[in-house]
Chain A
Amino acid sequence: MRVTAFTQLITVLAVTALVFILPVQVVSFILVLELALLLYIRHDRMTMAAIGALTVFTGMMILLQLLFQSTLEVAMIGGLRMLVMTMAFLCLLAATRIQDIAQALVERFHMPCEYAFMLTTALRFVPDFLADSTATLDAQSCRGYSNRGNVFKRLYSYLVVIKPLVMRAVAKSDTLALSMELKGFGANTYKNMKKQELGLGDYLVLAIVVILSTYKFWIKYL
């Protein structure tokens, strides 16, 4: 069942609101759904690491709330909501190509094409910059900079890498901007792409979202 990027975006945004509207049991259920979806689509190391990181982050949030003297229940519910929201974004990134997200943002949400394109550009250049940073770290090391042992030293060495990296990024972005100009980037860029038409799957999901969002209204009648 294919669901367009637009629907996915709407769903994710809706989830961030729904966690506050729906009862805890339903929210927990959504969490289980998200996990199942995520593991079904992509069960590689990176996804696991991301889930792990989010869980840890949520755990820290809960602890923090407890420190500020909330009850356990309140803290847990808060943590659950946070986890469901962030997981939703993770699902989005795992399930959709960033180009489709960008296209939906321009087409349906009327985001200016330059901003939407930044998403693609970021993804495009991140691997390159990671490779560059390795080269700079190597150069540091070959000139006697050892980041053994000390965590702070390690962090500092990464900081020193930032400057050459940023310089390079600026130079590259110059060429990139030129290239985009030469290729005629502009309003037409997203207009002429193959339209992402809404299909049965989309309408189904959107219907579910609408139903869940109006929960507070119809629950009275049950």
Chain B
Amino acid sequence: MIETREVNFAYRRGEPVINDIDCKIEDGEFVALLGHNGSGKTTLSRLFMALMHPRSGEVYVDGENIAKKEPADLADRVGYVFQNPDLQILADTVWDEVAYGPRNKKLSEEKIREQVEEALAATGLTDFADVYPRILSFGQKRRLGVAAALALKPRILLLDEITNGQDSLEKEQMMNYLRAINEEQGITIVLITHDMNIARLYARRVIVLHNGNLVFDDVPEELFNGMKDLTEWGLQQPTMAALAATFELTAVNAADFCAQLTLKAGEK
């Protein structure tokens, strides 16, 4: 469980990046953290992981104030996956890469093997255990980043824009893995993204930041039902949501929309 109380952050040059944010994320949630470029969403996630510390206010992980902690202290409770997979590759085989974390924590060989196998299975990389990480495809490298974080068995996973630059098929695949991790293992997922579709289809809670302020915190339906003007916050209404809302249908994808639309038209 992560909580921030009245957290503020600004870089030395002055302009505040995070203004007085109160935010509480419970176990097992699937949260999408949205916001325009510079809204503070990445900064907030970095505060969660103690990669940065707030200028004022507190951040608590499982009830403990993490002001004096560094990310290594939190690694077995909170996992962080960065956007650029190439910069996170530290080992020569997929297995070693995923084992990096558990080895740092000096776990027994048994435990390490167990946790690495689990992490590989959860991200569909079991068959790639002996592969040199750099020859993996971009999507696979991304999943490797997730596996490496999972290996320490954190209860919370923070993911920074990990569907950026991938085609829709790969995005879907990644999101399905995340959904499985969340539903089967109860791991909290906090996904920073600017992909509205993903937020809409997979998240159960959406938090929107705008200019460093928390402006929305509720279920996705409330955000995407067409009632709110998302452009105000630098966001875009996902296409299907806009169409569905206009025609008062509940479809989330194209096929369903067409079916419902013709059905409705047929009723006239």
Q: Is A136 an interface residue (CB 8 A)?
A: yes
Given A139-B82, A143-B100 in contact, is the A148-B87 Cβ separation under 8 Å? no
Find chain A residues with CB under 8 A from B71 CB.
138, 141-142
Q: Is B152 an interface residue (CB 8 A)?
A: yes
Query: B70 touches which one: A148, A164, A167 (CB < 8 A)?
Result: A148
Cα–Cα distance between A135 and B105 once the two chains are bound (Å): 21
Q: Whose C-beta in chain A lies nearest to the C-beta of B104?
A: A144
Q: Is A145 an interface residue (CB 8 A)?
A: yes
Q: Is A48 an interface residue (CB 8 A)?
A: no
Q: Is B89 an interface residue (CB 8 A)?
A: yes
Asked if residues A142 and B86 are in contact (CB atoms below 8 Å), the reply is no
Asked if residues A143 and B89 are in contact (CB atoms below 8 Å), the reply is no
B182 → chain A closest CB, angstroms? 20
Find chain B residues with CB under 8 A from A140 CB.
90
Interface residues of B in 43-91 (CB under 8 A from A): 49, 51, 70-73, 75-76, 79-80, 82, 84, 86-90
Q: Is B101 an interface residue (CB 8 A)?
A: yes
Query: B51 touches which one: A138, A146, A168 (CB < 8 A)?
Result: A138
Which of under 10, 10 to 19, 20 to 34, or 35 or more describes the interface residues of A? 10 to 19
Q: Is A132 an interface residue (CB 8 A)?
A: yes
Q: Is B206 an interface residue (CB 8 A)?
A: no
Find chain A residues with CB under 8 A from B49 CB.
142
Given A138-B71, A139-B82 in contact, is the A144-B76 Cβ separation under 8 Å? yes
Q: Is B134 an interface residue (CB 8 A)?
A: yes
Q: Whose C-beta in chain A lies nearest to the C-beta of B85?
A: A139
Most B CB within 10 A of own CB, among A142, A160, A171: A142
Q: Whose C-beta in chain A lies nearest to the C-beta of B154?
A: A142
Q: Is B149 an interface residue (CB 8 A)?
A: yes
0/1 string, B131-156, CB within 8 A of A gives 1: 00010000000000000110010000
Cα–Cα distance between A75 and B76 once the two chains are bound (Å): 55
Find chain A residues with CB under 8 A from B86 CB.
164, 167-168, 171
Cα–Cα distance between A77 and B104 once the two chains are bound (Å): 51
Asked if residues B75 and A143 are in contact (CB atoms below 8 Å), the reply is yes
A175 → chain B closest CB, angstroms? 13
Find chain A residues with CB under 8 A from B152 CB.
143-144
Asked if residues A164 and B73 are in contact (CB atoms below 8 Å), the reply is no
Asked if residues B87 and A142 are in contact (CB atoms below 8 Å), the reply is no
Find chain B residues with CB under 8 A from A163 CB.
90
Given A144-B104, A146-B72 in contact, is the A135-B149 Cβ separation under 8 Å? no
Q: Whose C-beta in chain B lies nearest to the C-beta of A168?
A: B86
Interface residues of A in 120-147 (CB under 8 A from B): 132, 135-136, 138-146
Query: B104 touches which one: A145, A148, A164, A168 (CB < 8 A)?
Result: A145
Query: B149 touches which one: A143, A146, A164 (CB < 8 A)?
Result: A143
Given A136-B87, A138-B51 in contact, is the A143-B148 Cβ separation under 8 Å? yes
Asked if residues A160 and B90 are in contact (CB atoms below 8 Å), the reply is yes
Find chain A residues with CB under 8 A from B89 CB.
164, 167
0/1 string, B96-125, CB within 8 A of A gives 1: 000011101100000000000000000000
Query: A146 touches which one: B70, B76, B90, B102 (CB < 8 A)?
Result: B70
A140 → chain B closest CB, angstroms? 7
Find chain A residues with CB under 8 A from B104 CB.
143-146
Cα–Cα distance between A132 and B87 once the two chains are bound (Å): 7
Asked if residues B87 and A164 are in contact (CB atoms below 8 Å), the reply is yes
Asked if residues B72 and A138 are in contact (CB atoms below 8 Å), the reply is no
Find chain B residues with CB under 8 A from A136 CB.
87-88, 90
Find chain A residues with CB under 8 A from B134 CB.
167
A153 → chain B closest CB, angstroms? 11
Query: A144 touches which one: B84, B87, B105 (CB < 8 A)?
Result: B105
Asked if residues B87 and A168 are in contact (CB atoms below 8 Å), the reply is yes
Residues of A bordering B, CB below 8 Å: 132, 135-136, 138-146, 148, 160, 163-164, 167-168, 171
Supply 12 A–B pairs (Cβ within 8 Å), ascending by A: A135-B82, A136-B90, A139-B87, A139-B90, A141-B72, A142-B82, A144-B75, A144-B101, A144-B104, A145-B104, A148-B70, A148-B72
Residues of B bordering A, CB below 8 Å: 49, 51, 70-73, 75-76, 79-80, 82, 84, 86-90, 100-102, 104-105, 134, 148-149, 152
Q: Please give 11 more A-B residue pairs, beta carbons under 8 A apart, in addition to A142-B79, A168-B86.
A: A135-B84, A136-B88, A139-B90, A140-B90, A142-B82, A144-B75, A144-B76, A144-B105, A146-B70, A163-B90, A164-B86
7 pairs of A and B residues whose beta carbons are closest in the complex:
A144-B104, A146-B72, A144-B75, A143-B101, A139-B88, A141-B71, A142-B80
